Amino acid sequence: MSVSTVPRARAPAAEPTPAPPSASRLAALADTWLPRLVLSPTVVASLVFVYGFIGLTAWLSLTDSRMMPNFEYSGFGQYATLFELDRWWTAARNLGIFGGLFILACLSIGLGIAILLDQRIRHEGALRAIYLYPMALSFIVTGAAWKWILNPGLGLEKMMHDWGFGHFSFDWLVDPDMSIYTVVIAGVWQSSGFVMALFLAGLRGVDDAIIKAAMVDGASLPAIYRRIVIPSLRPVFFSVLLVLSHIAIKSFDLVMALTAGGPGTSSDVPAIFMYQFSFTRGRLGLGAASAMMMLATVLAVLVPLMYLETKGERNGRR
Amino acid sequence: MDAASMNASGAREGKRLAPGRVAVYALLVLVALYYLAPLYVMLATSVKSLDQIRSGNLLDLPLAPTGAAWGKAWDGACTGVRCEGLRPYFWNSVKMVIPAVLISSLIGSLNGYVLAHWRFRGSNAVFTALMVGCFIPFQVVILPMARLLGTAELANTTGGLVLVHIIYGIAFTTLFFRNYYVSVPDELVNAARIDGAGFFTIYRRIIFPLSLPIFMVCFIWQFTQIWNDFLFGVVFGGSDAQPVTVALNNLVNTSTGVTEYNVNMAAAIIAALPTLAVYIAAGKYFVRGLTAGAVKG
């Protein structure tokens, strides 16, 4: 990194100094180098453990490593294998379904509650605390709880039967066609309150004067939200999308606890695929290739979002 | 903004609630019940007997509340091969989370101080480069990391997990502190420099004493992240340093024998208690951390 290239600051210290350095000169020297010294372990760690390790994983994905890593280049065979595996495509499709529904539901529920909470609600603090507490829980805890609630024999289904809805059936947890949707249900429960908090913070930042002016002009409340308030939340939408898509792509623990990718491999996601092929099936090369695909997905989603966001900021700046 | 206050100047003067307001409150309470229901179900299930669980339904009140499932979840239930409950793993998590949180926060604070007040040529580029660490899916680094920990004989140790959590937590903690310290006026730091105060003196005398709120935010964020982590725990924890999240997952997904739902739920609550307690005690900082983490984009 550019830590070592500091010509401007180094100049005074590099001058030939005939006299022995005075105390103040030493202090100046310390002030020049101490900040870099303090930062350097982090920079080195980042170079090695983030960039270096990504490079190693990329390299590993180009070898035919199985149980043990070997570093002999063998081309793109792992990627070819990956793209021929039905299981990989199941995982990819599930990520699409889960990600899409999860983001959509969190956005609409989060924004909906935020708008309702913004109507001068009594006990707003308490309600907010209730909506947000799932965010403090581990996805494993959330998964365990919903696994029990959605239990086909004793959970929600039995409750509905007890209440007289004899034909109610809810067995998504064991239905290969529906299992991925249970992950959506649990994920939305956990994360929508967080989206609410972000939108509420955004709503509090909207200029009252604009709203008042629209009121005077006779605009209805829904129209004001639709035309003025919600469009002005554009930056919040970007952060929310950023965070939610990130959660979705990385999601591993929730699926592990709730369905463990099952029944069969029906609710597999790339993170689980990566874990199982790398650590339980001894296919390191394939695991590395799937990890690289996850990184590519994150980049494919985040880079355009961040580009749009900064572009929006630039246009919006007055 | 607060649209209702303006819209309802007429409605608010009348004492009775307008039907629209009633609907808003009803909806909000309904949503609150939806968020609370799983917590209630967990709590109720954890104190029910297996008989009642089988005969009754999710929302029934426990007929004869018992703590037996809690005792079993704490030190009797089988997670994989061992049958010591969550207790050893809970302490593993405690031993892992405390040093990891303290060290990553302290490093983040010093980094943030440098990046906010001791900028040098290229320091902004360094900052941007560090922030990439916030975005990568960790799957892309765990294979080399597993190898490294294995070679360094840190695999399956709490020390190894602490190290990993520090390394991959620094990007976030640096971001928190840097964004906070940017709001400390440069004049304050410059005046101290003119008075002859050095790098660490300024940190100790000026910056650190101002940092309590951001340390709170950072502690809570890191505590929640690290306590709740599963991926690093399952990959690097082995059986000896396994954190509580991994043990809980093993317990819940053990398919041998009768599933004891009450024990599972008690275990889930035990694993959730520390972060829930932090949330209840310091929710304000928790929310601030979440929003700060979200604006990281």
Q: Is the peptide bond before A263 cis (omega within 30 degrees of 0)?
A: yes
Q: Are residue A150 and residue A281 in the same domain, yes or no?
A: yes
**Record: contact A39-B121, CB cut-off 8 A:** no
Whole-model pTM: value is 0.88
Q: Are residue A102 and residue A9 in the same domain, yes or no?
A: no
Identify the CATH class of B87-294: mainly alpha
pLDDT of residue A315: 59
Q: Of B41, B28, B172, B11, which Cα lies nearest the Cα of A147?
A: B41
Domain membership of residue A67 (yes or no) is no
Name which of B171, B253, B267 is nearest A260 (Cβ-Cβ). Answer: B253
Domain membership of residue A69 (yes or no) is no
- Domain of residue A16 covers 2-60
Distance of CA A254 to the CA centre of its chain: 13
pLDDT of residue B9: 41
Q: Could you tell me if A241 lies within 8 Å of chain B, comparing CB atoms?
A: no
Q: Could you tell me if A197 lies within 8 Å of chain B, comparing CB atoms?
A: yes
Could you give the percent of chain A with pLDDT greater than 90? Answer: 45
Domain membership of residue A74 (yes or no) is no
Name chain B contacts of A273, Cβ cutoff 8 Å.
none
Q: Could you tell me if A203 lies within 8 Å of chain B, comparing CB atoms?
A: yes
> Residue A9 pLDDT > 50, yes or no?
no
Choose the weakest-confidence range: A185-189, A213-217, B264-268.
Answer: A213-217
CB B225 within 8 A of CB B168: no
Name chain B contacts of A117, Cβ cutoff 8 Å.
28
Name chain A contacts of B142, Cβ cutoff 8 Å.
278, 291
Name chain B contacts of A206, Cβ cutoff 8 Å.
1
**Record: contact B121-A6, CB cut-off 8 A:** yes
State the average pLDDT over residues A126-138: 92
Best of A43, A53, A122, A224 to substitute, by most chain B Cβ atoms within 10 angstroms, is: A53
Domain membership of residue A73 (yes or no) is no
Name chain B contacts of A139, Cβ cutoff 8 Å.
228, 230
Choose the weakest-confidence range: A2-6, A174-178, A203-207.
Answer: A2-6
Distance of CA A67 to the CA centre of its chain: 30
> Residue A82 pLDDT > 70, yes or no?
yes
Q: Could you tell me if A46 lies within 8 Å of chain B, comparing CB atoms?
A: yes
Domain membership of residue A273 (yes or no) is yes
Q: Are residue A54 and residue A192 in the same domain, yes or no?
A: no
Among positive and negative, which fits the CA dihedral B58, B62, B66, B67?
positive
State the average pLDDT over residues A11-32: 62
Q: Could you tell me if B139 lies within 8 Å of chain A, comparing CB atoms?
A: yes
Give A225: exposed, middle or buried? Use CB within 10 Å, 0-12, 13-18, 19+.
Answer: buried
Token pair 């900064």 is found at A310
**Which part of chain B has CATH 1.10.3720.10?**
87-294
Using one digit for the tens of pLDDT, what is the confidence trace for B115-130? 999 988 888 899 999 9
Number of domains in chain A: 2
Q: How far apart are CA A297 and CA A101, in angstroms?
A: 17
**Record: contact A1-B53, CB cut-off 8 A:** no
Choose the weakest-confidence range: A232-241, A281-290, B73-82, B95-104.
Answer: B73-82
Q: Could you tell me if B200 lies within 8 Å of chain A, comparing CB atoms?
A: yes
Q: In 3-state terms, what secondary structure has residue B79?
A: strand
Name chain B contacts of A142, Cβ cutoff 8 Å.
38
pLDDT of residue A21: 54
pLDDT of residue A20: 52
Q: In terms of DSSP H, where are the helices of A175-283? A: 179-204, 208-216, 221-224, 230-232, 234-250, 253-258, 270-275
**Record: contact A145-B133, CB cut-off 8 A:** no
Among A residues 118-177, those touching chain B with beta carbons less than 8 Å apart:
118-121, 127, 129-149, 151, 154-156, 158-159, 162
Written as six digits, the tokens of A136 are: 């403090």
State the average pLDDT over residues A274-295: 93
Average pLDDT per run of 10 along chain B, which is 297 residues long?
Answer: 44 59 91 94 90 83 85 84 87 96 96 93 90 90 93 92 96 92 90 88 92 91 94 91 93 80 93 93 80 54
State how far the alpha carbon of B233 is from the alpha carbons of A222, A310, B239, in Å: 47, 36, 10
Domain membership of residue A198 (yes or no) is yes
Name which of A39, A53, A240 is nearest B126 (Cβ-Cβ). Answer: A39
Q: Are residue A157 and residue A217 in the same domain, yes or no?
A: yes
Q: Are residue A289 and residue A149 in the same domain, yes or no?
A: yes
Q: What is the residue-averaged pLDDT of chain A?
A: 85
Q: Of A315, A309, A134, which Cα lies nearest the Cα of A237?
A: A309
Q: Could you tell me if A266 lies within 8 Å of chain B, comparing CB atoms?
A: no
Q: Are residue A84 and residue A34 in the same domain, yes or no?
A: no
Name chain B contacts of A292, Cβ cutoff 8 Å.
140
Name chain B contacts of A45, Cβ cutoff 8 Å.
167, 170
Q: How far apart are CA B232 and CA B160, in angstroms?
A: 10
Domain membership of residue A147 (yes or no) is yes
pLDDT of residue A160: 82
Q: Are residue A207 and residue A287 in the same domain, yes or no?
A: yes
Best of A137, A210, A225 to substitute, by most chain B Cβ atoms within 10 angstroms, is: A137
pLDDT of residue A67: 77
**Record: contact B265-A145, CB cut-off 8 A:** yes
Q: Are residue A6 and residue A45 in the same domain, yes or no?
A: yes
pLDDT of residue B78: 81
pLDDT of residue A286: 93
ipTM of the complex, rounded to two decimals: 0.89
Higher per-residue confidence, A293 vs A2: A293
Alpha-carbon gap: A304 to the closest alpha carbon of chain B (Å) = 12
**Record: contact B31-A113, CB cut-off 8 A:** yes
Q: Could you tell me if B133 lies within 8 Å of chain A, comparing CB atoms?
A: yes
Q: What is the CATH number of the domain that holds A222?
A: 1.10.3720.10
Residue in A with minimal Cα distance to B195? A24
> Residue A79 pLDDT > 90, yes or no?
yes
Q: Are residue A136 and residue A183 in the same domain, yes or no?
A: yes
Beta strand extents in chain B (DSSP E only): none
